Amino acid sequence: MTESSTTPGLRLAGISKVLGGRTIVDDLHLDIAPGEMVSLLGPSGCGKTTTLRLIAGFLHPDQGTVEVAGTDITRLGPERRPSAMVFQNYALWPHMSITKNVAFPLKVARVPRTEVKERVAEVLELVGLSHHADSRPAHISGGEQQRAALARALVQRPQLLLLDEPLSNLDAKLRVRVREEIRDIQQRLGITTVLVTHDQEEALSVSDRVAVMSEGRIEQVSTPAELYRAPATAFVAGFIGSSNTIPALDLGEGEPGAEWMVRPEDVRLDPAGMPGVVTRVLPHGHYAEVVVQVNDTNLRAFVTGEPPEPGDEVGVRISRALRYRDGKLDDAPVTVPA
Ligand X SMILES: Nc1ncnc2c1ncn2[C@@H]1O[C@H](COP(=O)(O)OP(=O)(O)OP(=O)(O)O)[C@@H](O)[C@H]1O
Between the alpha carbon of residue 321 and those of residues 252, 266, 267, the distances in Å are: 14, 8, 9
221 binds ligand X (CB under 6 A): no
47 binds ligand X (CB under 6 A): yes
Rounded to whole angstroms, the Cα distance separating 108 from 289 reads: 55
100 binds ligand X (CB under 6 A): no
Rounded to whole angstroms, the Cα distance separating 111 from 106 reads: 5
Q: Which is nearer to ligand X, 18 or 96 (CB)?
A: 18
String marking each residue 15-54 x if it binds Mg ion according to CB under 5 A:
----------------------------------x-----
Q: Which is nearer to ligand X, 50 or 192 (CB)?
A: 50
Q: What is the CB neighbour count within 10 angstroms for residue 22?
A: 10
Strand pairing category for 320-325 and 258-262: antiparallel
60 binds ligand X (CB under 6 A): no
193 binds Mg ion (CB under 5 A): no
Q: Which long-range contacts (CB under 8 A, 24 or more apart) does 304-312 make?
A: 307/281, 307/283, 308/269, 308/278, 308/281, 309/278, 309/281, 310/278, 310/279, 310/280, 310/281, 311/277, 311/278, 312/277, 312/278
Counting residues that bind ligand X (by CB under 6 A) gives 12
> Smallest distance, Å, CB 168 to Mg ion?
9
175 binds ligand X (CB under 6 A): no
Q: Which of residues 19, 109, 249, 336 is near ligand X by CB under 6 A?
A: 19
Q: Which of residues 12, 28, 32, 48 is near ligand X by CB under 6 A?
A: 48
99 binds Mg ion (CB under 5 A): no
Q: Residue 226: CB partners within 8 Å, gap ≥ 6?
A: none
String marking each residue 181-210 x if it binds ligand X according to CB under 6 A:
-----------------x------------
Q: Which is nearer to Mg ion, 49 or 222 (CB)?
A: 49
Q: Which of residues 12, 24, 182, 316 is near ligand X by CB under 6 A?
A: 24
Task: Give the DSSP H or E segment for 187.
Answer: helix 172-189
Residues 53-82 that bind Mg ion (CB under 5 A): none
Q: Is 259 helix (H, G, I), strand (E, B) or coil?
A: strand
Give me the count of residues in the chain.
338
Query: Interacting stretch for ligand X, rule CB under 6 A, among 48-56, 169-177, 300-308, 313-321?
Result: 48-56
> Smallest distance, Å, CB 266 to Mg ion?
33
89 binds ligand X (CB under 6 A): no
Rounded to whole angstroms, the Cα distance separating 169 from 146 reads: 9
> Smallest distance, Å, CB 49 to Mg ion?
3
Cα 120 → chain centroid: 29
Burial class (CB in 10 A: 0-12, 13-18, 19+), 69: middle
